[in-house]
Amino acid sequence: MTGGGGGGSALLEVSELTVHHGQLRALSDVSLSVGAGEVQAIIGANGAGKTTLLRAICGLKAPTSGFVRFDGADLAALRTERRVAAGIVMVPEGRRLFPSLTVQENLQVGAAYARKGPWTIDRVYELFPWMPERRRQLAAQLSGGEQQAVAIGRALVANPRLLLLDELSLGLAPVIVARIYDTLPELLASGVTILLVEQDVSQALRVASRVHCLLEGRTTLAGAPADLTAAGIESAYFGLSSAAAPGAAGPAGAAGGAGETQ
């Protein structure tokens, strides 16, 4: 599967975003643009600021400076739940389901601030055919891959325009990761734009129309996968050299990655 075309107008604009955790600067002047219908991947080593970026976009972390615009509107004054109602929804790292609730109850939580749209609990059940017969099972009793599917379903019933996926494959077996990624075409077909943080760089390059690399809170590389080189990605990822430029065009290889705890 390849990423969406990204030919539409910018749905999300992040401009010169700086975010602090106390005295620690987690992001420094990060800018990116995500087109409607696009899959864009954020890559980077542990502590690069990837999760912080997603949290700033969805309103869970206030920026020190810079701005986030969604469909042309500045989000500075918009609380997290209002961003959900506007169409920005995140699947957090580690799933963060309610373990004492059933599968169906977790999905119902996602509908609390839902927009009108095509995604319902029944449609989520169609996307993940194993769910209906397990809908009364507690989330705590599910496998990691099943929990990730429920977390995605919980986000979808809110009918997002922009879906933020944080460490989609973290801790999952490759076969489960492949099944999760197989759902992306249907999400794109329903009109969802995707910004994902991915520890598996080769997977990110396979599905994304654009890749954005962070290192210690700064952008070190950005571009379409076809325009990036393996050496350029490795340099940007690990900070081996000044890697602001993507390098010569050509097929990109995989750089190793780690999940982000920050």
Structural domain boundaries in the chain? 10-94+161-238
- Enter the DSSP assignment of 192: -
Q: What is the pLDDT of residues 52-62, one digit of tens each?
A: 999 999 999 99
* 216: nearest Cα among 18, 55, 14, 57: 18
Q: Which of 94-98, 147-151, 177-181 has the highest mean pLDDT?
A: 147-151
Expressed in percent and rounded to 5, the helix, strand and coil fractions of the chain are 30, 25, 45
Q: Structure pTM?
A: 0.85
Q: Which CATH number fits domain 10-94+161-238: 3.40.190.10, 3.40.50.300, 3.30.43.10, 3.40.50.740?
A: 3.40.50.300
Average pLDDT score over residue span 113-132:
92
CA–CA gap between residue 103 and residue 141 (Å, rounded):
10
Alpha-carbon distances, residue 137 vs 12, 34, 50, 127, 179 (angstroms): 37, 37, 33, 18, 21
Q: Which two tokens stand for residue 29?
A: 């002047």
* 120 Rama sector, left if φ>0, alpha if ψ -120 to 50, beta otherwise: beta
Average pLDDT score over residue span 187-211:
92
Q: What is the pLDDT of residues 16-61, one digit of tens each?
A: 999 999 999 999 999 999 999 999 999 999 899 999 999 999 999 9
